[in-house]
Structure 1
Amino acid sequence: MQLVLASGSPRRKELLALLGVDFEVCTSEFPEHPMAGWLPLEQAKYFAREKARCVARVRLQDFILGSDTVIELDGHLLGKPLHLEDARIMLSRLAGRCHHVHTAVAICCQARGIDRVEASTTHVTMKVDVEDVYSRYLASQESLGKAGAYAIQGLGGDLVERIDGDYTTVVGLPLKLVARLLQSVGYPIALDIEELYHRKPYANWHRFAV
């Protein structure tokens, strides 16, 4: 049985590769439309599971891994900015405050009747907007296409004061959760996950050691 990542995200691909597993990428065609009235965490779980199910219906024998990341501020979802002005508004709302990053992970296998989803949450505290740090970040255009308008693994790491939780959750694929889910369905993980978290071999990970 093959492990398949149901995501075209280069960040998720890079993170999953850190587990030392053999996998393929098959992008899910599930349409992601925000669900009115849903809690952000529940939406992340739903999207992660449906992404995995979409691919599992085609790859019947394989383990399909789906994931979704959302930003929650004051109980509301912050999506991806439509343009730089939208990103500016999002970042101004986040500046100097704490928000939650939820990343849900689903594992499906039609042949084995496996259909599970769990989530990891990390609390992120942003720096106060001083010395035009946010304006310089917006000028880089890294905000575009990023949930909450920042990427902690990139230049957006300069906007973050601290995190409480798993760094890889904020990037988009909580590796401890992924490893536990895979092992629970009989997919072997030879890598020592604690040693991986000690090494922190990903961009900006060492900056936010907890």
Structure 2
Amino acid sequence: MKLILASQSLTRRRMLESAGVIFEAATALVDERREKEALQGDGLAAHAIAKSLAEMKALSLSEKGALVIGCDQTLEYGDGFMLDKPHSEHDAFDQLKALSGRSHFLHSAIAIAENGKIAWRQVDSARLTMRELSDRFIKNYLELEYEQIRHCVGGYQIEGRGAQLFDWIEGSHFAIQGLPLLPLLKYLRERGILLT
């Protein structure tokens, strides 16, 4: 059965490739910003928004004879506040400043659509505690990393220099990168797409 990843995320593609999963990547047919605003307006929690968006992305490309993987990730901090992908380097600075010295949650959702229906879904959450960051450190980090992190919720990646941002992490490294990989691999084995 054909497997389609409804995402052009380089990180997610590399994760699947590294795990030996054969798939095609395509762009989901979802206006993510508009849909997210609507879900927030409905009062959904951050993890539920991630799940809903993952389902929408999977369904947007659902076709007969294929399993379509949709993914989304939300960042929640404080009393239910959410951060999106930064719009500029200045925005990324403000986001990192807001997260400095605090804990936040990343909610990574995955959904699989088959024949126009959701066949499977999973949400994994991780708690990350960022160390106190100086303005100088944040500016230097963004000078070196902005092109790599500008499409990342919260304005950072855990990989590479991003590891220097944190004091403590609880949860799956895969969830932090935006794809609950181990539950997905288990599901694909159960479906006979991967060898058991």
Classify the secondary structure of the residue corresponding to 1:4.
Answer: strand
Residue 9 (structure 1) aligns with: 9
Would you identify which runs of 4 or more consecutive aligned residues in structure 1 move more than 4 Å? Answer: none
Identity of aligned residues (%): 30
- How many corresponding residue pairs? 187
1:36-94 alpha-carbon deviations (Å, 9 max, x no partner) = 222111110001011000110xx221011111011111212110111112111111111
Q: Of residues 137, 141, 145 in structure 1, which corresponds to 2:151?
A: 145
Partner letter of residue 163 of structure 1?
A: I
Between stretches 83-92 and 46-55, larger displacement belongs to 83-92
On the 8 A contact 1:96/1:127 being kept in 2, the answer is: yes
Residue 137 (structure 2) aligns with: 133
For residue 131 of structure 1, report the CA deviation from its aligned partner: 7.9
Q: Which runs of 5+ in 1 are unaligned?
A: 192-210
Residue 59 (structure 2) aligns with: 53
1:118-176 alpha-carbon deviations (Å, 9 max, x no partner) = 10001111111148322211222244221001111242222122210101111111211
Give RMSD over aligned pairs: 1.8
Residue 157 (structure 1) aligns with: 163
Residue 203 (structure 1) aligns with: none
On the 8 A contact 2:75/2:82 being kept in 1, the answer is: yes
1:94-130 alpha-carbon deviations (Å, 9 max, x no partner) = 111110001000011118x553221000111111114
- When residues 131 and 147 of structure 1 are mapped into structure 2, their CA distance, relative to the original with a 3 A threshold, is closer
| 1:98 aligns to 2:103 (yes or no) | yes
Q: Which runs of 5+ in 2 are unaligned?
A: none
Residue 27 (structure 2) aligns with: 27
Query: How far, CA to CA, are the matches of 2:99 and 2:154 in structure 1?
Result: 8
Query: How far, CA to CA, are the matches of 1:168 and 1:70 in structure 2?
Result: 14
| 1:172 aligns to 2:178 (yes or no) | yes
Query: How far, CA to CA, are the matches of 1:151 and 1:137 in structure 2?
Result: 11
On the 8 A contact 1:133/1:159 being kept in 2, the answer is: no
Classify the secondary structure of the residue corresponding to 2:32.
Answer: coil
How do residues 78-117 of structure 1 correspond to structure 2 at under 5 angstroms?
A: 78-110=83-115, 114-117=118-121
Structure (1/2) with the larger helix percentage: 2
TM-score between both structures, scaled by the size of structure 1: 0.82
For residue 2 of structure 1, report the CA deviation from its aligned partner: 0.7
Residue 119 (structure 1) aligns with: 123
| 1:65 aligns to 2:36 (yes or no) | no
Query: How far, CA to CA, are the matches of 1:161 and 1:41 in structure 2?
Result: 23
